[in-house]
Amino acid sequence: QPKADDPWEDPIEIERPLVPPFPVHALPEPLGAWVAAVTECYQVPAELPGLLALAVCGGAVARRVEIEAGAGWYEPLNLYVAVLLDPASRKSGVFKLATHPIKSIERELGESMGPVIARMRSDRRMREASLKEMERKGAKGDADAADGARELSELLDCEPVPSEPKLIVDDATAEAVEIALANHGGRMIVAGCEGGLFDVMAGRYSSGVGNLDCF
């Protein structure tokens, strides 16, 4: 408690820092024009479409391009972005626009690769059936069948069937994200217009035990 003859000084006010506006002008075209148009159309801060656009672009080039920030200093181009706004701030609409190109490419890849993957899976099932038959005969002493089973087993191990193209996931468990990364060369965009991803990191699907490693 301050003494009567030694009163407290007036507290120093903590002012909100002045944050510079998002540098839309620094974005290359047509990205800058898109950010400016969405900002005007949806009446949102430029940071919302600007950061989401950068995040999507970063995911598109992740593990394909690196930046050399200095001599021997290389950094990946994927980004970690969290845009925080009050409810009913049109986040979902802008998020849908920003991720639309990636989802369109994913859909096109799925349509073009779907029949190819289906044929490869069918071929593999037939080879696996042949392998079981060879192994059955080889177990009974058929040397030729045993040799054929070994060769076919090695062939199947060297020719895995590719997974259906997946470029972006949302509200997935950490294990599902790890599988998606393994099936797609370590490249995946994990994004959502709500905060569910933070619940996943905190352990929503793992009994409250946080799982940040794969992220």
What average pLDDT score do residues 80-97 get?
90
Q: Is the pLDDT of residue 206 over 80?
A: no
State the residue for tokens 């393994």.
182
Average model confidence (pLDDT) for the chain?
87
Tokens of 155: 């062939």
Report cis status (omega within 30 of 0) of the bond before 20: no
∠ CA(101), CA(103), CA(108), 5° rounding?
Answer: 95
**Pair type for strands 66-70 and 73-76:** antiparallel
> What confidence tens digit (pLDDT) does each residue in 14-31 have?
887 888 889 999 999 999
pLDDT for 172: 82
User: Left, alpha or beta for 171 (phi > 0: left; psi -120 to 50: alpha)?
Assistant: left
135-180 pLDDT tens trace: 999 999 999 999 999 999 988 888 878 888 888 988 788 888 888 8
Q: Minimum mean pLDDT among 56-65, 110-119, 202-211: which range?
A: 202-211
Angle between helices 31-42 and 47-61 (to 10 degrees): 140
DSSP code of residue 67: E
- For residues 81 and 94, the answer to whether their CB atoms sit within 8 Å is no
H/E stretch holding 57 reads helix 47-61
